[in-house]
Chain A
Amino acid sequence: MDHLKQLTERFLSLHRGGERPEAGVLSACCALHAATGHPDCLAFAAGAMDRALSSGDTSLPGIQLVYLLDATGREAYADALHQLLENPPAEMPPHALPLYAAYEMRFHNMARIADVSARYARLASEERTPVETGWYALSLLDSIAVVNEQLYEHYRLLVDLFRKAVAALIPCHDGAASALLSCALMKGARMGVLNPEKYLSMGQKLFSALPQSADAAYLLAAAENLYHAAKEEKR
């Protein structure tokens, strides 16, 4: 935990004062806040989101907007959700699809969940680098976490696409892709989407072989690893 705290502070200092941080950076911030409760992570993510929203930037954020809404209760975040997603754009990057799914579940009576799963299905056929596949897999997990399992055909499509993405990534990971894969394996196992008996240890082994780093992908994996480490400690 101390290591993680140090890495978190290094991560924050690297990205403070930056322009608009990438979605991965915000994702890591929110994951670290969820895992550690570090208040600076929440403050950093909220500050970055506020700057983006007030600048009139219409490009879609990730599900961190919903995380910030839940963590802070600020109406401005709910207003932003409605403005951005009442009429969703024709094309959406993978990182924005969980936000769309969350919006549909929470504010739109699930009316367009079929569109969410159809967009993921279209993305599935695109060529991606290992790093892009890693972010795509994590995006699927974020959507799986919010889609109601009673819409099973859509929920299950996302699960199947995630499993395929992980299967494609396992043989060809490197560098940042390794960190993303280890996060996907550990989080997929935690959520019950992957067989934990096989994939949790695979993810943990992969994580323990990674060089410590303050980049977003590593910190996402580190935050995920914390859940499992905490569980082991309780035993």
Chain B
Amino acid sequence: MKAELTFVSARSAALLIEDGGLYHTLKPYTLRLNGEDVCQTSRTVTSLYGLWPDTDYRLELLDEATLITTLTFRTAQESCTMNVRRFGAVGDGVHDDTAAIQAAILCCPEKGRVLIPAGEYRITPLFLKSHISLELQKGAALRLDTDRSRFPILPGMTQTTDEKDDYNLGSWEGNPLDCFAAAITGVNVEDVLLFGQGLIDGQADKADWWQNPKLRRGAWRGRLLFLNHCKNITVQGVVFANSPSWNLHPYFSDNLTFLDISVTAPANSPNTDGFDPESCQNVLLLGAHFSLGDDCIALKAGKIYMGCKHKRPCKHVRISHCLMENGHGGMTVGSEMAGGVCDVEVSDCLMRNTDRGLRIKTRRGRGKDAIIDGIVFRNVCMESVSAPFTVNCLYYCDPDGHTPWVQSRQPEPVDDTTPYVGSITFQNVTATGCGACAGYLLGLPEQPVERLTLENVAFTFNPSAKPMTPVMADGAEPCLNAGLVASYVKELVCRNVTMEGQQGDRLTLHQVGNVIWEE
């Protein structure tokens, strides 16, 4: 049993309790701060709020009456608090509080805090500034306007004055296209903390963002948080709901920490991915909860233009102690991954009722820099996940997704447009109540998946599950309780893999090179 403070700021802290639990601890604990009981927690990642800056704290962790451990820490300094009410924000749900909150942000000194106290704040998109924190206190809700005509647009590409390059602001599904600004947008900002127990509500359920979602109307749909070329950003505790499209979209940004956040959207809402870092490096996602209408997490690296131009992979990503529910994929890579995605570890997570656990999607046309490698799932539990892992290299996305070139099962030439899937590893994974299959891999005939390794993996099946088509590729059929189905894979290694209740063979293989099966 281990406990450590993973984060301390001027006004908050985050505690990680590792007692073998995943998103929840195995038992409840009491937290006592400077001698006073502050809360009971059953979460492996627990946030503490309402701390005072530049102050020493003693945090005790108790199991009933027994002291488990004591941690001491000192909060960071803070220069000043800018309460948005003093800038004229009303917080009555009627008044447009955008100007007041934006003024507070722009006027906030370095190491200062913009404070949004409890209240209903109607806003249009807000923009961050470097070296500040922004606190949404408990009961504070930022409600995004439902009229897109009031939103600024981020131009996709603007040619530089010397006409030698472009300046990229907007992005849509991996291309540098005009998009509406997010509820909170950061462009070239650094050293920012967005935290608190408040809510950012995109109100897309009350607007028209989810109608005709594939049509560009004015610009492409915005997000709730868009970070463009930012660094050293932390987001703690905030609840994100009802985004027009993807919820959190860090883009070409580095050194990002997301702790104890919650992201929700209705199950039938289009493209409401939870957390989509794109071409980002050094990303930590700890103690997050997702329940929404598309992939919970999707690691991205652009489509071929951006991938080829910048060659910037999404890499060094750690996802831990999270709960992914109800989405299409628990942790997805792609389909926009033209810059590559590598060195990703998902550990101590619980996936529940998602269509898929690990979901890798790519296609011809993503380019030769589209390299997926070093993906590891370790100590992950999947409950009622229909297909625990899928790899689809014939994903029928984009306007030309169903064309013969993208969908052909005949080998095409390996060239500058061909993606590569390297090493994928599952260790200590239990998947109970599987529906469609244990796993479904569909590589490219001309560039098969390099290696899938399963070690200490146990699959059990739900005979009452509904059939599901495990991958979105032309010709893929629905499955029910199938074992591991693999096509166009170089090496499949299974050590201590058990399957109970599958229908048919545990392995259905087509053009799989080397198979190692050890009991």
B-binding residues in A (CB < 8 A): 109-111, 113-114, 148-153, 156, 163, 195
Inter-chain CB contacts under 8 Å: number: 38
**Contact present for A152 and B404 (CB under 8 Å):** no
B131 within 8 A of partner (CB): no
What is the total number of residues of chain B having a CB less than 8 Å from a CB of chain A?
18
**Contact present for B175 and A163 (CB under 8 Å):** no
Besides A109-B399, A150-B172, A150-B399, 7 more A-B contacts (Cβ < 8 Å) are A110-B399, A110-B403, A111-B403, A150-B398, A152-B177, A152-B303, A153-B305
**Contact present for A148 and B399 (CB under 8 Å):** yes
Which 8 pairs of residues, A with B, have the shortest CB-CB distance? A152-B175, A111-B403, A153-B305, A110-B400, A152-B305, A153-B304, A110-B399, A148-B399
| Cα–Cα distance between A149 and B303 once the two chains are bound (Å) | 12
Residue on B with the closest CB to A151? B399
Interface residues of B in 104-163 (CB under 8 A from A): 159, 163
Interface centre among B177, B400, B403, B404 (most CB of A within 10 A): B400
**Contact present for A109 and B175 (CB under 8 Å):** no
Contact mask for chain B residues 391-410; partner A; CB cutoff 8 A; 1 contact, 0 none: 00000001110111100000
Q: Which residues does chain A contribute within 8 Å of B398, judged by CB atoms? A: 150-151
**Contact present for B400 and A113 (CB under 8 Å):** yes
| Cα–Cα distance between A114 and B400 once the two chains are bound (Å) | 10
Report the minimal beta-carbon distance from A40 to chain B, rounded to whole angstroms.
36
Residue on A with the closest CB to B304? A153
From B159, B173, B308, give the contact of A150 (CB < 8 A). B173
**Contact present for B400 and A111 (CB under 8 Å):** yes
Q: Is the interface of A mostly helix, strand, loop or mixed?
A: loop
Q: Which residues does chain A contribute within 8 Å of B277, judged by CB atoms? A: none
Report the minimal beta-carbon distance from A97 to chain B, rounded to whole angstroms.
18
From B163, B176, B177, B403, give the contact of A163 (CB < 8 A). B163
Report the minimal beta-carbon distance from A124 to chain B, rounded to whole angstroms.
18
From A111, A114, A149, give the contact of B177 (CB < 8 A). A149
**Contact present for A151 and B177 (CB under 8 Å):** no
Instruction: Say yes or no: A150-B175 contact (C-beta < 8 A), given A109-B402, A110-B400, A111-B404.
Output: yes
**Contact present for B403 and A109 (CB under 8 Å):** yes
Instruction: Say yes or no: A195-B159 contact (C-beta < 8 A), given A110-B400, A153-B304.
Output: yes
Q: Which residues does chain A contribute within 8 Å of B176, judged by CB atoms? A: 152
Report the minimal beta-carbon distance from B359 to chain A, rounded to whole angstroms.
22
| Cα–Cα distance between A151 and B177 once the two chains are bound (Å) | 11
Report the minimal beta-carbon distance from B166 to chain A, rounded to whole angstroms.
9
| Cα–Cα distance between A148 and B172 once the two chains are bound (Å) | 13
Contact mask for chain B residues 45-60; partner A; CB cutoff 8 A; 1 contact, 0 none: 0000000000000000
Q: Which residues does chain B contribute within 8 Å of A156, judged by CB atoms? A: 305
18 contacts between A and B (CB under 8 A): A109-B402, A109-B403, A110-B403, A111-B400, A111-B403, A113-B400, A149-B175, A150-B175, A150-B398, A150-B399, A151-B398, A151-B399, A151-B400, A152-B177, A152-B305, A153-B303, A153-B304, A195-B163
Q: Which residues does chain B contribute within 8 Å of A152, judged by CB atoms? A: 175-177, 303, 305
Q: Which residues does chain B contribute within 8 Å of A149, judged by CB atoms? A: 175, 177
Contact mask for chain B residues 170-187; partner A; CB cutoff 8 A; 1 contact, 0 none: 001101110000000000
| Cα–Cα distance between A152 and B405 once the two chains are bound (Å) | 18
Report the minimal beta-carbon distance from B375 to chain A, rounded to whole angstroms.
26
Q: Which residues does chain A contribute within 8 Å of B175, judged by CB atoms? A: 149-150, 152
| Cα–Cα distance between A156 and B306 once the two chains are bound (Å) | 11
Report the minimal beta-carbon distance from A151 to chain B, rounded to whole angstroms.
6
Q: Which residues does chain B contribute within 8 Å of A153, judged by CB atoms? A: 303-305, 308
| Cα–Cα distance between A228 and B202 once the two chains are bound (Å) | 38
Q: Which residues does chain B contribute within 8 Å of A113, judged by CB atoms? A: 400
Residue on A with the closest CB to B367? A153
| Cα–Cα distance between A165 and B173 once the two chains are bound (Å) | 30
Report the minimal beta-carbon distance from B300 to chain A, rounded to whole angstroms.
15
Report the minimal beta-carbon distance from A157 to chain B, rounded to whole angstroms.
9
